[in-house]
């Protein structure tokens, strides 16, 4: 029932976002614009998506390496299936897929894998938040929607900077971070505070081993390359819809898109994806172009990304590197794994002091 409600809530968010994006629009004209697009640009965009997949799989391996050396073949397979789950499951529940699929106890525990994903997401959040702030500086003052997007960029940057600060605290003082978590939740429920604090204890344990300075530098370089490829790919595909975006323009649209899909929505991030792309494009093209060719572009961009990731995930779903049964284990099972690991750490004498 809980998961059904999550799906229904996600569909409601997606439906509302789609309604706001499409209301008052000429759907037949948008369909015609999509049909008349130059799809020769689709081939290079698919190649760029393939390179993006390889870069993010290798980048994730850098974060896991201090805990366990995972072969690139397995990283690539798990990443493909994990990002397919992220695209298809509502409320970003697919974020749990990768750490659960790659875990190989006792060599690589769920807590360490989950920690690597959180660090990866925080780094991406800080990077894209700052990217949006910087690219918006090139947008002329007084452009409709500019102030709202600048506020959103600052809010996202501050939120992820706060998470980064908490991770730094957790890395330097595990016991204090666990106590802080318990104190924040204790007024709500003592039982919940103990459970979450225990899970947090196991999660922080996964943060204790970090890559060397050289590997960290490579991680950040790959992060920049990953987002550079995303923005470049969006610029390439936009040409097929007669949308002449400069690189800075494309990265601005990318930043708006990243902020938009952070809103929990239905499967495929439908609705929030299209709305964010059109909002970003409206900063650089006329209103008519944004609601016609821009909306056609947003729908094709969404469909291509969803189709590519789903096809790639299905291709690896039954490979020897992926245990299919784990894909259907939800966040509840991941939480139970973290609780079990926290109990093991305490039994080994490696846990944080009781909270």
At 352, is the pLDDT very low, low, confident or very high (cuts 50, 70, 90)?
A: very low
CB 67 within 8 A of CB 110: no
Residue of higher predicted confidence among 48 and 87: 48
Residue 210, pLDDT > 80, answer no
Question: Mean pLDDT throughout 277-290?
Answer: 90
**Residue of 276, 272, 273, 285 lying closest to 246 (CA atoms):** 285
CA dihedral 331, 164, 207, 87 (to 10 degrees): 30
CA distance 139 to 134: 10
Domain spans in the chain, listed from the N-terminal domain onward: 22-107+213-322
187 three-class SS: coil
In this prediction, residue 353 carries a pLDDT of 41
Here the tokens at position 21 are 């994006």
CA distance 284 to 246: 10
Residue of higher predicted confidence among 331 and 94: 94
CA atoms within 13 Å, Cβ hemisphere of 129? 19
In this prediction, residue 15 carries a pLDDT of 66
At 62, is the pLDDT very low, low, confident or very high (cuts 50, 70, 90)?
A: very high
CA distance 145 to 190: 44
- What is the pTM for the complete model shown? 0.81
**For the segment 27-53, what is each residue's pLDDT rounded down to a tens digit?**
788 889 889 999 999 999 999 999 999
């Amino acid at each position: 029932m809980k998961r059904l409600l999550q799906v229904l809530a996600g569909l409601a968010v997606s439906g509302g976002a789609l309604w706001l994006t499409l209301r008052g629009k000429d759907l037949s004209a948008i369909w015609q614009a999509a049909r008349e697009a130059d799809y020769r640009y689709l081939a290079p965009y698919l190649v760029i998506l393939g390179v993006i997949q390889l870069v993010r799989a290798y980048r994730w391996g850098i974060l896991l390496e201090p805990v366990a050396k995972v072969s690139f073949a397995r990283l690539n397979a798990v990443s493909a299936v994990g990002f397919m789950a992220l695209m298809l499951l509502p409320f970003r529940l697919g974020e749990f897929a990768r750490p659960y699929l790659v875990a190989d106890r006792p060599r690589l525990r769920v807590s360490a894998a989950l920690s690597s994903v959180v660090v990866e997401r925080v780094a991406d959040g800080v990077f894209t938040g700052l990217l949006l702030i910087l690219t918006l500086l090139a947008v002329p003052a007084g452009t409709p929607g500019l102030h709202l997007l600048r506020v959103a960029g600052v809010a996202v940057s501050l939120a992820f900077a706060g998470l980064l600060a908490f991770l730094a605290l957790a890395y330097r003082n595990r016991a204090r971070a666990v106590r802080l978590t318990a104190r924040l939740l204790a007024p709500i429920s003592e039982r919940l505070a103990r459970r979450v604090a225990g899970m947090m204890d196991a999660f922080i344990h996964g943060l204790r081993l970090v890559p060397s300075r050289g590997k960290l530098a490579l991680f950040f370089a790959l992060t920049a390359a990953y987002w550079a490829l995303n923005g470049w790919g969006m610029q390439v595909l936009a040409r097929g819809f007669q949308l002449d975006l400069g690189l800075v323009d494309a990265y601005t649209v990318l930043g708006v898109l990243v902020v938009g899909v952070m809103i929990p929505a239905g499967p495929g991030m439908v609705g929030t994806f299209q709305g964010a792309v059109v909002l970003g494009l409206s900063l650089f093209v006329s209103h008519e172009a944004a609601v016609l060719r821009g909306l056609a572009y947003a729908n094709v961009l969404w469909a291509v990304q969803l189709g590519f990731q789903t096809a790639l995930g299905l291709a690896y779903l039954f490979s020897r590197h992926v245990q299919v049964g784990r894909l259907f284990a939800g966040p509840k099972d991941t939480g139970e794994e973290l609780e079990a690991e926290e109990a093991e750490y305490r039994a080994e004498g490696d846990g944080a002091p009781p909270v």
